[in-house]
Amino acid sequence: MNRNDLKVIQGGASNAVTVGEHKFISAYVTDTRLMGVIGLHIHWAIESPSLFSDFHQFFYFDAEEFGLETYRSVVGNESFEITLIEKTLIDGLGGEKKNLNEREARYLVQQFVKTTFALNTTPCEPQSEYAFLLEDPIILNAEELNAIADKLCTSMKSHHQVIHYYLMRTFGRDIEGASYLLSKNAQIEEISEKQPSTLCRNTIEEFLNPDGSLSYLSESLIEVENSYKIVLSELKLENEKVCFAKKRSSFSVSPAEVAMLLNRPEFVTLFEILVDPDEFESEFSHFSAGAMQTIHDNGRLYLEFNHNNDHVIRQTFRLNEDVHGLYYISDYGQLVIAAYTKDDIRDLENRLHKSGINLMIIPTAKYEFKEPVLYEFIQSDFDDFNEFIESLQ
């Protein structure tokens, strides 16, 4: 299900949620600020002349491009609707949930809206439902700001993780995000491009300086305005913070070179769908709750993300390693599942086998490719996956 397919649960109380007294019950935020996105949930009790009920608000914030991108709400405590929104907006971020007090929750919403306008975008609707959170400006002291920063940012488990996150935020021109990883007196030079860029891949090598200090040389593949560059930079760390950063060189790379750098195996299992498309769609919508859906000319693709961001800890970072698996339902009546490791494809297969979908499909082929082909199939004019593979041979 696409995040934008979710609707406000009216329950006959759409106007009542904007008036009356909102009594704070609880709130949590995901510790994913260094990934550039945040999920926030606030739980209220509403008392008004026409309503006495629980009220749940969900916010999805993108620090680089869109600001406050998505807002959803639920009146009452309908567990299915709440769980569905959490799976769609929150769980895919790969972070842990950190409890907030009311002051912190209100502050974050106010910052979300402020940043959204700074990005020259408009906060998502209906703004009237969260307007009451903006009425009284919240100003945090230094101690409170440090406390909320600790909740927004996951704890660092490796030096590689610090560097990957810092470069990710820097290339995205997310100054606030990068600042969470800087030491107090850091000596940094401009590493990023003038335009926000995406860190697609980053490798790190360590070397000792003549003075005995340790430096990290990063080779970063970035995408900027539909072209690619490699940026070489040197960084130093102090107490899990970046204390020195300097660009050494940068150069453009061709699409062929990019393909080589991002290349990795892809494991694919093909199924034939045995039932009516509407019947299958109904069952699959429950199975894929929380996956991100994109619509294509000949079918629908569902991306299932990992439940953590451990791929940032490794010495080599790849942006797409947060994907656990892919499901493509073609209009031709095929289900194609894909993953980038053998363990992941086995997990996808086992979960399908244990679900109600198992009686609706039959496996017909298994493939192992040296490089990804599913996206190429989706963008091709072929309806049948087997015929597409034959054409490649």
- Rounded to whole angstroms, the Cα distance separating 209 from 248 reads 15
Lowest-confidence region among 45-49, 76-80, 262-266: 45-49
Cβ–Cβ contacts within 10 Å for residue 169, how many?
Answer: 25
What type of residue sits at position 118? A
> Do residues 277 and 334 make contact, with C-beta atoms less than 8 angstroms apart?
no
- Rounded to whole angstroms, the Cα distance separating 149 from 143 reads 10
User: For residue 195, what is the domain's CATH number?
Assistant: 3.10.450.50
Handedness of CA 150, 155, 158, 163 (dihedral sign): negative
One domain, residues 164 and 225: yes
Rounded (10°) angle between helices 142-152 and 102-118? 80
Domain extent at residue 50: 3-152
Instruction: Please name every residue paired with 208 in a beta bridge, in sequence order, or none if there are none.
Output: 214
**pLDDT, position 1:** 38
Mean pLDDT of 228-253: 96
User: For residue 269, what is the domain's CATH number?
Assistant: 3.30.310
Q: What is the pLDDT of residues 76-104, one digit of tens each?
A: 988 888 998 998 889 889 999 999 999 99
Task: Cis check for the bond before 126: say yes or no (omega within 30 of 0).
Answer: yes
One domain, residues 34 and 72: yes
Q: Where does a domain end: 152, 175, 203? A: 152
Higher pLDDT, 105 or 65: 105
Percent of the chain with pLDDT over 90: 78
Whether the predicted pLDDT of 2 surpasses 50 = no
Q: Mean pLDDT in the chain?
A: 91
Whether the predicted pLDDT of 245 surpasses 70 = yes
One domain, residues 44 and 91: yes
Lowest-confidence region among 2-6, 15-19, 49-53, 82-86: 2-6
Whether the predicted pLDDT of 393 surpasses 80 = no
One domain, residues 253 and 269: no
**pLDDT, position 15:** 64
Mean pLDDT of 267-273: 97
Question: What number of CA atoms fall less than 13 Å from residue 202's CA on the CB side?
Answer: 32
**pLDDT, position 26:** 97
**pLDDT, position 227:** 94
Whether the predicted pLDDT of 109 surpasses 70 = yes
Return the structure tokens found at 4: 């934008």
> Do residues 237 and 215 make contact, with C-beta atoms less than 8 angstroms apart?
no
One domain, residues 166 and 227: yes
Return the structure tokens found at 53: 């009920």
> Do residues 312 and 181 make contact, with C-beta atoms less than 8 angstroms apart?
no
C-alpha gyration radius of the chain: 23
Handedness of CA 17, 18, 21, 23 (dihedral sign): positive
Higher pLDDT, 392 or 326: 326
SS3 assignment, position 185: strand
Whether the predicted pLDDT of 267 surpasses 90 = yes
**pLDDT, position 369:** 94
One domain, residues 298 and 195: no
**pLDDT, position 265:** 94
Q: Where does a domain end: 260, 289, 319? A: 260
